[in-house]
Chain A
Amino acid sequence: MCSLALWSLMRDVTAQFTMDDAVLHPGYRPEEGSDEEGLWRMMDRAEGNLQLSRFVVRDPQLNEFISDMICRLGKDYCPDIRAYVVRTPYFNASMAPNGMMQIWTGLLLRCSDEAQLAAIVGHEMGHYIHRHSIQRFRDVRNKAGLSAFLGLGLAAAGAGWAGNITDLALTASIFSFSREQEREADSVGLEIMARAGYTPVAAHEVWQQLLAEQEVSTADRTQNVMFASHPAPEERLVTLREQAELLDGERGERGYERFRESLAGVRQQIVDDELRLRQYGRSEVVFDRLIAQSPKDGLLWYAKGEVYRKRAEPGDLKRALDAYQTALDTDSAPPETYRSIVLVELKQGNKAKARSTLDLYLEKYPEAADADSLQMLFY
């Protein structure tokens, strides 16, 4: 609570920055004794904590995919960048000045393909290569002192997940960049992804998708970490599209299949994390979009059913049952689909249907850990 009081105090700190045109070269280390070295050391400590964190996703297949993508995008910078997938259900990626990159699972859920993810990662590399954080750091510190700088970090982290000082280290957005820096990161990011052979239009698509989600969100825009630091999404959409056209936007690789396969081991967990937020309108937009892309995906239909079951507004139980049935018609419905049908049938007073579905569930999945719990609901 106190940190958030601080947060509101600090968010008013606005600052102009002076362009430092020194671009970071591969293998760069800051000068000993410099303020930049101090900043790097602080980030190294944060990275040490992150390496031990239980929120880091260790799935080898996913991590291999991410490192390959970073090397493909980063080329000579590849050895300087270390990426961590962090289990946080919001759209965000970030890059600290020392080369620590964080990719949140909520971003992975929201990307349609590898090219879209490459657009966001490329954008973060743009901040990194142009050393935006040290510029921001110096500027804010000179104007308002270090605590204000840290306050900006809290603001960027979004009210929902900004907490104490350990959060600050864990949270992706320690740096809130200026609009000018964001523009630069956008165009550099686009160049990076296009040069690596990814489809340039993916960059504006991914922002457009986020905007569509935001329109049905119950929270205002500043809640979203990416919007908090990127104040004019509509403007950036236009610019990104124009720039993509100059780069022959539709060409290049999407990487849809590889992206999907790499996420296979963690997809259900990422979907469950999204569902647990119970931001029904937003989740509906996300799952509908993913379903349009993969209409035979049982997990996505199950997820759509869960959104309706949990929202439980008039008509929702019927919608949920339809979605569960569609899931079962595919070959990839998760076992929990049966459990959810049991819950909906019970809610509708169809005890016989609930009973027969439960029997089917236990027959198919005799190991189901929640079997006894469900039996209890029949008395």
Chain B
Amino acid sequence: MMSRIALLNWTPLLVLALLLAGCETTGSRSFGLIEAQRQTIDNVISVEPGLTWNKVRSSKFTGNIEVWTLDGPTLNTLMFFTGVPDGEPLFVRRAVNQKSVEQPPVFKSDMNPFEIQELLEATMARNFQTTIADSRGLRPQLIDQGRGFRFDTSLVGRDEVERHGVFVGTIQRNKLYGAWFQGAKHHYFYRYLGEYDRIIESAQLLIKAESD
């Protein structure tokens, strides 16, 4: 027998949805202002942005990274890699239930640029929980007068939003340094590509001065 129960009250569902959506709160404590002047990131990378950025203090990702944004992390992010050592992932989602999480793919210092491109693609797929993650167009890029490389990325997240991106990186003293800018395809990525290039052009690696 089927019991008759009054139509369910959907309010708790709404509350839960808001609770979950609220995870990426935009409170002022979550962000720090980055002025349009020379900035040092984690004492290893120095850049000079042309716009005012926000440092994301409560990024859902963690690792040897620093994350900036212009319009909020869901719309665009600039992720600096401040020296990923051999055997460590590029970045991971902040862990929830450690024991049940699969091993992330890791950086190895003998990887060539093509393999770094493959690694970022795998890292994207894992951390954005998607199968639609691609990279292409690997090419050389000068960084602080040294040899580096550059490639393009694209992904569709679980929110079905298509994001385009560009990564520039270099391996120095067995560590990976780089900057990956990505944003929602329409507007939030292409609008600021010039700013990204300007930041890359201004980049200095402080590790050289330190140890040479």
Using an 8 Å CB-CB cutoff, how does the interface string of B85-113 with A read, 1 for contact, 0 for none?
00000000110110111111100101011
Task: Please give, as numbers and ranges, the residues of chain B lying within 8 Å of A36 by CB-CB distance.
Answer: 2
**Besides A164-B158, A373-B113, 6 new A-B residue pairs in contact (Cβ under 8 A), listed by A number:** A2-B22, A33-B7, A88-B131, A105-B131, A273-B131, A373-B137
Is B168 among interface residues, defined by CB-CB distance under 8 A?
A: no
B7's partner among A35, A160, A219 (CB-CB below 8 A) is: A35
Using an 8 Å CB-CB cutoff, how does the interface string of A128-169 with B read, 1 for contact, 0 for none?
000000000010010001110010000000111101111100
Contact B15–A223 (Cβ < 8 Å): no
Q: A145-B12, A376-B113 are in contact. Are A170 and B158 (CB under 8 A)?
A: yes
Contact A8–B100 (Cβ < 8 Å): no
A219 to B20, CA, bound (A): 25
Can you list 21 pairs linking A and B with CB atoms under 8 Å apart? A8-B97, A33-B7, A34-B2, A34-B5, A35-B5, A158-B100, A160-B101, A160-B102, A164-B159, A166-B160, A219-B102, A220-B100, A223-B100, A273-B125, A276-B131, A276-B133, A277-B122, A277-B125, A279-B102, A346-B112, A370-B138
A-B contact count (CB 8 A): 159
Q: A276-B125, A277-B122 are in contact. Are A159 and B15 (CB under 8 A)?
A: no
* Closest residue of A by beta carbon distance from B159: A166
Q: A146-B8, A219-B101 are in contact. Are A2 and B23 (CB under 8 A)?
A: yes
Is A372 among interface residues, defined by CB-CB distance under 8 A?
A: yes
A35's partner among B8, B20, B159 (CB-CB below 8 A) is: B8
Q: A145-B12, A276-B133 are in contact. Are A34 and B1 (CB under 8 A)?
A: no
Task: Please give, as numbers and ranges, the residues of chain B lying within 8 Å of A55 by CB-CB distance.
Answer: 130-132, 156
Q: A22-B1, A222-B100, A276-B122 are in contact. Are A1 and B140 (CB under 8 A)?
A: no
A29 to B167, CA, bound (A): 52
Q: In angstroms, how far is the closest chain A Cβ from the Cβ of B26?
A: 14
Contact B158–A167 (Cβ < 8 Å): yes
Q: A2-B23, A167-B129 are in contact. Are A218 and B103 (CB under 8 A)?
A: yes
Using an 8 Å CB-CB cutoff, how does the interface string of B156-172 with A read, 1 for contact, 0 for none?
10111000000000000
Is B60 among interface residues, defined by CB-CB distance under 8 A?
A: yes
Number of interface residues of A (CB under 8 A): 66
Using an 8 Å CB-CB cutoff, how does the interface string of A214-231 with B read, 1 for contact, 0 for none?
000111101100000000
Residues of A whose CB lies within 8 Å of any CB of B are: 1-8, 20, 22, 31, 33-39, 42, 52-55, 87-89, 105, 138, 141, 145-147, 150, 158-161, 163-167, 170, 217-220, 222-223, 273, 276-279, 310, 312, 343, 346-347, 369-370, 372-374, 376-377
Interface majority SS (helix, strand, loop, mixed), chain A: helix
Task: Please give, as numbers and ranges, the residues of chain A lying within 8 Å of B159 by CB-CB distance.
Answer: 164, 166
A1 to B73, CA, bound (A): 14
A122 to B125, CA, bound (A): 31
Contact B20–A2 (Cβ < 8 Å): yes
Task: Please give, as numbers and ranges, the residues of chain A lying within 8 Å of B209 by CB-CB distance.
Answer: none
Q: A35-B8, A87-B132, A279-B102 are in contact. Are A376 and B20 (CB under 8 A)?
A: no
Contact A165–B101 (Cβ < 8 Å): no
* Closest residue of A by beta carbon distance from B158: A167
Task: Please give, as numbers and ranges, the residues of chain A lying within 8 Å of B13 by CB-CB distance.
Answer: 42, 146-147, 150
* Closest residue of A by beta carbon distance from B17: A165
A166 to B130, CA, bound (A): 13
Contacting A at CB under 8 A, from B1-32, are 1-8, 10, 12-13, 15-17, 19-23
Task: Please give, as numbers and ranges, the residues of chain A lying within 8 Å of B1 by CB-CB distance.
Answer: 20, 22
Is B139 among interface residues, defined by CB-CB distance under 8 A?
A: yes
Task: Please give, as numbers and ranges, the residues of chain B lying within 8 Å of A141 by CB-CB distance.
Answer: 8
Contact B131–A159 (Cβ < 8 Å): no
A314 to B104, CA, bound (A): 19
A278 to B96, CA, bound (A): 20
A357 to B122, CA, bound (A): 25
A183 to B20, CA, bound (A): 33
Contact B12–A163 (Cβ < 8 Å): no
Contact A34–B7 (Cβ < 8 Å): yes
Task: Please give, as numbers and ranges, the residues of chain B lying within 8 Å of A37 by CB-CB distance.
Answer: 7
Task: Please give, as numbers and ranges, the residues of chain B lying within 8 Å of A223 by CB-CB distance.
Answer: 100-102
Contact B114–A377 (Cβ < 8 Å): yes
* Closest residue of B by beta carbon distance from A270: B131
Contact A7–B97 (Cβ < 8 Å): yes
Contact B118–A310 (Cβ < 8 Å): yes
